[in-house]
Structure 1
């Protein structure tokens, strides 16, 4: 019995170290000036491919934030984290909304994670949704927000985010899907790329799936409404306005709730995007 208690105590101590100490010891300050050569998400995918006997080459081209289309940056913020420049790593409203939706759905379907949280996961953790990983993610997110400026966090995120099988970062994604550098992405292309971020393995920005098309049109419509873009695709906006005005929608587009509010107040960091 004594041996069993000792063993349990040791196991609990190891779990404690792994859950709380490990994310505290992870080096983060180097990210101020250096880019990571490989991320935890890349390692996770490589392991998956090896188990399946697949040979997939990782495509990634690092690009500074000021060389990325402003439309793409705005589209991603609208789709993934509309309050990015206003919160300190966690969007409590989005989290509570996700909890409510998950309760109604009866399963973990909605996340509510900010870009900072997604970056913490992509850089250092695996994509599992267990409580230990979420605690680690929260600790790392806290450290990222207090170590790096917002623009650097966004730059890192856009360069390591997954955009398809073996495709990491916006530059590789832009060249793969549209045959152009990310600096040349137009509003509609940006909306398409932003629309698939929640599940880039399942969805393709060039597909004609109703999910991708509806979400991209909604992102585009919001960019136009906020004055981010001038009208270039009249038929897109007209169709989107019609869809949004319908009371009975057949498919819910999982964008964060705050984006439906017209917000014309941008921080200094946002205006420099």
Structure 2
């Protein structure tokens, strides 16, 4: 009986410990840049396991040193309601659940920028309702204690754009040989179009889907609403 109690208690203890660890890091990230994220660790381990010789290119830059064009392009592409919601786009989640029910598995997530950041910082790329629940808990904690513009700054600096390429500065240098602050509207829209499937587009750089999505983002950028910046 004692052993059974311990077996039941261990998952609860692990859950509490992990979330305490996450909360402590969220507080730290309000002022300090992440050294590396859980998603970066997962990806680099994946590449090594596949025998790929991929170097990590992750360069932190301040929010002001990232083009407004790229900020608007990502809002237009990934989360049009980012400036106004509290971490969750409930209509998007509802639509995603309907698509998942039709397919019989977790495919669409309806993830906001905040949820994507929660995954990148602390989780992995697995698809399950348990992982989505943990992602939601982390998102709620982050939105409760972190300014919106800081969440966006973190997101811009850690998202994946190519094999080993993470963050706006590394992406701008990789694709355009320029700093992130100097990106044009066309360049920013093309980068934003890569975000949902960066490795696919790395392998298929002439994809018609990439061109089509870039054009859609360009049309939407004018109405993209950025969070008020206190940075």
When the two structures are superposed, what TM-score results if normalisation uses the length of structure 1?
A: 0.77
Partners of 2:161 and 2:146 in 1: how far apart? 24
Deviation of residue 268 (structure 1)?
Answer: 6.3
* 1:158 to partner: Cα distance: 0.6
Q: 2:20 aligns with which of 13, 24, 29?
A: 24
Aligned to 1:128: 126
Unmatched tracts of structure 2, length 5 or more: none
Q: Deviations over 1:213-245 (max 9, x none)?
A: 111110111224x3x7xxxxxxxxxxxxxxxxx
Q: What does residue 184 of structure 1 align with? A: 182
Give the aligned partner of residue 159 of structure 1. Answer: 157
More helix by share: 2
CA distance in 1, matches of 2:51, 2:34: 26
Q: 169-178 or 20-29, which moves further after superposition?
A: 20-29
Mapped contact 1:20–1:136 kept (Cα < 8 A): no
Segment of structure 1 superposing worse, 194-203 or 101-110: 101-110
Q: 1:168 to 1:267 in 2, by over 3 A?
A: closer
Contact 1:159 1:171 in 2 (8 A): yes
State the partner residue of 2:7.
11
C-alpha contact (below 8 Å) 1:193/1:205 kept by paired residues: no
Superposition CA RMSD, Å: 2.2
1:100 CA drift (Å): 1.5
Alignment of 1:46-61 (within 5 A): 46-61=44-59
Which range is displaced more, 14-23 or 73-82? 14-23
CA displacement, residues 94-150 of structure 1 (integer Å, 9 cap, x when unaligned) = 100111122233432211111111111111111112233222211111111111100
Could you list the runs of 5+ residues in structure 1 that have no partner in the other structure? 229-265
Preserved CA contact (<8 Å) 2:189 2:217: yes
| SS, match of residue 34 in structure 1 | coil
1:45 corresponds to: 43
SS at match of 1:84: coil
Pairs within 5 Å for 1:202-213? 202-204=200-202, 207-213=205-211
Instruction: Please name the residue that 1:71 is paired with.
Output: 69
- Structure-2 residue corresponding to 1:107: 105
Residue deviations 1:222-273 (CA, integer Å, cap 9, x gap): 224x3x7xxxxxxxxxxxxxxxxxxxxxxxxxxxxxxxxxxxxx57617x89
Aligned pair 1:269/2:225, yes or no?
no
In 2 relative to 1, CA 205–155 (structure 1 residues): closer, same or farther, beyond 3 Å? farther
Identify the residue that residue 144 of structure 1 maps to in structure 2: 142
Q: Give 3-state SS (helix, strand or coil) of 2:74's partner.
A: helix
Aligned length: 229
CA pair 194-210 structure 1, distance change in 2 beyond 3 A: same
Task: Give the whole-Å Cα distance in 2 for the aligned partners of 1:174 and 1:184.
Answer: 9
Alignment correspondent of 1:255: none
